[in-house]
């Protein structure tokens, strides 16, 4: 042990927190505690990670709040979170050596670049005589444990999910520790890399402070995740299947950011949902039990899509950069900054699209049905490269991750695994009329249209002059005209995508 460290009976074990910012069901932390050695809890903020993207602006906001909550939980147990700043490859090794660590533990990551980084760190630590132990703390199943009969990766969700669930049940989640024996890190260890205050990481916006809507919408961290999960189970799970496509209805879980940052584990959510389903079955009548069962199955399938996205991330080229179907490399995308900006600002002239984009900007989140409609609009109505949309969502979503965000964009674009057919082009007017028939969602997020009648709130350009005047709407001034007519956009998209599919598939 270096002379700067205080005397301690046993050398410490370092737990490196990454996308697993919780204490319960955290196998790396559980293992470290079980060794009987004192524990050091560490987070490394790498502002410029090699070959990977740093979090977007909304993700950085959540990261700050999540780390603050994690630190508060550790303080309540008598310790703290040691935050380091710098290259992961250099910082974690230097810190472990400086405190005389005997082991370093972490939960695994799955992109190729992240795995390369972790392998390099593991090799460097072992050369220093420091053992490394890694665990699955993020998924229900590791990507390499599911394959076709001839050992190849699945490319279709249905087949993958059947195989992933066949004779398999995720392990029961483990409770959080009641006590942790913390190792007191000397103040003079890793001075250059150590951060005394989270604010020094500059993760939150300052001038201008655009995060007011995020603060109004979210509580972050492990305890907040459980509050959200409990609320979903009590108030929305039984109507999830029937209501999940209605953006004005509170029928979705809103658990995605908690899963993204590991405030909750997939195992915790899985077993909590099944437990709630069993309780509903015992207490409800036959019809309500059947409804609950349908909702549970649908929700578990959505967890399956998350698993499938990480499966693709593990097996494929970088999802946010490379078309899964390389035939789409020849797609004749349009480079139109004006149309892109109109989409980003929620000024396309299509109310459902604009409502979704404004909800995203204000809250850092968007309803799933509306995500599909807004993504389809950018890719197919505007014929703008899906990567532009993925990048915007990466920066503005609190739940954007390396797997689901690009996988979902590629699904909509038609270039991804198990993707929507290229000829599926959502009509935003019909989508609004079907899933927001009273216009409640549009009226909330596009208030300039709030006084229009239901019959034209999703297509204000079809309103009579008297209706517009009564609603105080001047098209082209208070609210824009459509950036492109739907039928024209559809024909243009089909022509462009038809050229790709006819020559490449």
Residues with a catalytic annotation lie at 302, 305, 333, 368, 386, 409
d(CA 350, CA 369): 15
Of 74, 10, 78, give the one whose Cα is nearest residue 43.
74
Q: Please say whether the beta carbons of 503 and 429 come within 8 A.
A: no
CA distance linking residue 486 with residue 84, whole number of Å: 51
- Overall size of the chain counted in residues: 505
Looking up tokens 């490379």 gives 322
* Whether the bond into 208 is cis, omega within 30 of 0: yes
Would you say 400 is a known binding-site residue? yes
H helices present in 145-252, as ranges: 157-165, 212-217, 222-235, 240-243
Annotated binding residue 256 = yes
168 is in an annotated binding site: no
Coil vs helix vs strand at 468: helix
Q: Is 399 annotated as a binding residue?
A: yes
* Contact yes or no for 106/28 (Cβ under 8 A): yes
Q: How far is residue 350's CA from residue 78's CA, in Å, rounded to a whole number?
A: 54
Q: Is 252 marked within a binding site? A: yes
Q: Where are the beta strands (DSSP E) in 1-120?
A: 13-17, 39-45, 81-85, 103-107
Handedness of CA 456, 457, 459, 465 (dihedral sign): positive
Tokens of 146: 């599911």
| CB 33 within 8 Å of CB 177 | yes
Q: Is the dihedral of CA 244, 247, 249, 250 positive or negative?
A: positive
- Quote the CA–CA distance of 49 and 121 in Å, as a whole number: 14
**Does 254 count as an annotated binding residue?**
yes
- Per the annotation, does 299 bind a ligand? yes
Of 136, 162, 138, which Cα lies nearest the Cα of 148? 162
Distance CA 255, CA 249 (A): 16
| Secondary structure of residue 39 in the 3-state scheme | strand
- Residue 278 assigned ligand-binding role: no
In three-state secondary structure terms, 18 is coil
Tell me the two tokens of residue 300: 């578990």
**Binding-site residue ranges for FAD:** 240, 252-256, 299, 399-401
**Binding-site residue ranges:** 240, 252-256, 299, 399-401
């Amino acid at each position: 042990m270096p002379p700067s460290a205080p005397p301690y009976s046993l050398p410490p074990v370092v737990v490196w927190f990454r996308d697993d910012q919780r204490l319960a069901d955290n196998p790396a932390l559980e293992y470290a505690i079980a060794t009987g050695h004192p524990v050091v809890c560490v987070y490394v903020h790498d502002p410029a990670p090699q070959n990977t993207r740093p979090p977007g602006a909304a993700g950085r906001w959540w990261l700050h709040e999540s780390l603050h909550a994690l630190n508060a939980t550790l303080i309540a147990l008598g310790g703290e979170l040691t935050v380091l700043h710098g290259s992961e490859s250099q910082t974690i090794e230097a810190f472990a050596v400086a405190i005389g660590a005997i082991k370093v533990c972490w939960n695994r990551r799955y992109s190729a670049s992240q795995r390369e980084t972790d392998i390099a760190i593991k090799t460097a630590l072992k050369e220093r005589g420091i053992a490394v132990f890694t665990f699955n703390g993020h998924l229900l199943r590791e990507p390499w444990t599911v394959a076709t009969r001839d050992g190849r990766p699945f490319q279709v969700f249905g087949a993958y999910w059947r195989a992933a669930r066949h004779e398999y049940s995720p392990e029961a989640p483990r409770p959080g520790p009641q006590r942790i024996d913390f190792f007191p890190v000397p103040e003079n260890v890793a001075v250059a890399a150590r951060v005394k205050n989270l604010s020094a990481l500059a993760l939150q916006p300052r001038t201008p402070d655009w995060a007011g809507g995020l603060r109004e919408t979210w509580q972050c961290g492990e305890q907040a995740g459980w509050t959200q999960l409990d609320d979903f189970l009590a108030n929305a799970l039984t109507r999830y299947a029937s209501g999940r496509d209605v953006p004005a209805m509170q029928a979705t879980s809103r658990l995605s950011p908690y899963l993204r940052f590991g405030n909750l584990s997939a195992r915790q959510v899985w077993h909590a949902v099944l437990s709630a389903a069993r309780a509903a079955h015992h207490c409800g009548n036959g019809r309500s039990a059947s409804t609950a069962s349908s909702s549970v199955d649908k929700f578990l399938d959505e967890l399956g899509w998350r698993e499938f996205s990480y499966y693709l991330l593990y097996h494929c080229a970088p999802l946010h950069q490379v078309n899964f179907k390389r035939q789409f490399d020849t797609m004749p995308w349009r480079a139109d900054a004006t149309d892109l900006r109109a989409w980003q600002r929620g000024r396309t002239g299509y109310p459902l699209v604009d409502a979704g984009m404004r909800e995203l900007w204000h809250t850092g989140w968007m309803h799933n049905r509306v995500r599909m409609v807004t993504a389809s609009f950018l890719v197919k109505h505007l014929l703008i490269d899906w990567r532009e949309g993925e990048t915007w969502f990466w920066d503005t979503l609190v739940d954007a991750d390396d797997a689901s965000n690009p996988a979902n964009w590629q699904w909509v674009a038609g270039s991804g695994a198990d993707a929507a057919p290229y000829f599926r082009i959502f009509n935003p007017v019909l989508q609004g009329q079907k899933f927001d028939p009273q216009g409640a969602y549009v009226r909330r997020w596009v208030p300039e249209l709030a006084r229009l009648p239901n019959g034209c709130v999703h297509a204000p350009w079809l309103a009579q002059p008297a209706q517009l005047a009564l609603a105080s709407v001047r098209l082209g001034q208070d609210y824009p005209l459509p950036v492109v007519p739907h039928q024209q956009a559809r024909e243009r998209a089909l022509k462009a995508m038809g050229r790709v599919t006819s020559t490449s598939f």
